[in-house]
């Protein structure tokens, strides 16, 4: 008997490779940019996964070829003895059915497991964020040119966990009689340790601390004469505008936006600063969206840090 042609497996395809690339892009996107890159990776994985499953099940969906058997004419006696022929049903090969069922079930299980976990892990940081306004008391409580170490509560309903400290200076008025303030966060730009003022405070200056009572609770104002600011943890040093002058911090100290409402100083969201040129009301602030401690906000280094969720 002459052997037939050898059977060949399925031809090579790029769909599994594309699916793997999509998964890799999605995982990297969860770190770099969950909203854009991760979404692109998910789309790539879905498209290539669909094409892969479509090709893998193509033989199942394709009509089986009709094979004509070799026949000969039956004699009259054989024809009379043959039972009436019934059309035979075409059965799907078991191996092909199991392959398609496995791919489909695997995709469904993967989606059911992955999507809820990714949603609970990522979405809360990006949606449902509410802004906070902190009433810091009347503008008159901040004499022009004087620094205060201000301790306040961002959200009274959260209690002490939302207590923050900022360095506040009234720079006077600019332009159309608009008050100008320098409000610097005490969160070190290295690892987030609490930065301290390098200078005498309170009783050493012969001045009393002041407590203002507002809708945010008690606001403690401690007079200070800083020569700069320093981190006691790792030696980071900053000048009076928050610029890094020594140590491991990668940028200037963060700052608070503010507004004046009915004669009161009101703190708004925080933002990050690469550096500041000038001082006081004439300072030019290079501001960026709030980033975590140790993260660069400008230059090529910023590309290596993940997208930050909204902060207030």
pLDDT, one tens digit per residue, over 59-106 is 666 665 666 666 666 677 666 666 665 665 566 677 777 777 777 777
C-beta neighbour count of 43 within 10 angstroms: 13
Report the alpha-carbon distance of residue 223 to residue 17 in Å, rounded. 64
Residue 15 has what pLDDT? 79
What parts of the chain have a pLDDT lower than 70?
1-12, 33-34, 59-74, 77-92, 113, 117-131, 306-312
Sole residue written with tokens 């901040």: 142
| The predicted structure's pLDDT at residue 141 | 93
Q: Residues 36, 41, 44, 47: what is their CA dihedral angle, to the nearest 10 degrees?
A: -90
d(CA 114, CA 117): 5
DSSP class of residue 127? S
CA distance 47 to 57: 15
Whether the pTM exceeds 0.85: the reply is: no
Position 156 scores a pLDDT of: 85
Q: What is the pLDDT of residue 43?
A: 87
Q: Write the pLDDT tens digit of every residue in 118-162.
A: 666 666 655 555 667 899 999 999 999 999 999 999 888 888 888
């Amino acid at each position: 008997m002459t052997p037939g042609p050898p059977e060949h497996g399925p031809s090579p395809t790029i769909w599994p490779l594309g699916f793997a690339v999509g998964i890799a892009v999605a995982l990297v996107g969860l770190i770099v940019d969950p909203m854009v890159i991760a979404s692109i990776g998910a789309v790539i994985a879905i498209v290539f996964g669909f094409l892969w499953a479509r090709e893998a099940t193509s033989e199942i969906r394709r009509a089986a070829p009709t094979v004509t058997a070799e026949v000969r004419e039956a004699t009259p006696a054989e024809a009379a003895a043959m039972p009436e022929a019934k059309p035979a049903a075409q059965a799907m090969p078991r191996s092909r059915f199991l392959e398609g069922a496995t791919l489909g079930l695997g995709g469904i299980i993967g989606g059911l497991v992955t999507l809820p976990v990714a949603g609970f892990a990522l979405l809360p940081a990006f949606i449902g964020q509410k802004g906070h306004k902190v009433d810091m008391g009347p503008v008159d409580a901040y004499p022009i040119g004087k620094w205060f170490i201000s301790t306040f509560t961002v959200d009274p309903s959260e209690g002490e966990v939302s207590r923050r400290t900022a360095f506040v200076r009234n720079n006077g008025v600019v332009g159309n009689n608009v008050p100008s303030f320098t409000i610097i966060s005490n969160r070190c730009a290295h690892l987030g340790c609490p930065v301290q003022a390098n200078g005498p405070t309170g009783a050493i200056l012969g001045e009393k601390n002041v407590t203002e009572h507002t809708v945010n609770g008690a606001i403690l104002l401690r007079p200070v004469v800083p020569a700069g600011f320093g981190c006691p943890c790792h030696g980071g040093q900053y000048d009076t505008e928050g610029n890094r002058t020594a140590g491991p911090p990668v940028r200037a100290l963060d700052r608070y936006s503010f507004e004046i409402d009915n004669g009161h100083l009101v703190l708004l969201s925080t933002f990050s600063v690469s550096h500041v040129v000038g001082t006081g009301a004439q300072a030019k602030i290079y501001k960026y969206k709030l980033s975590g401690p140790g993260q660069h906000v400008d230059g090529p280094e910023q590309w290596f840090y993940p997208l930050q969720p909204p902060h207030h």
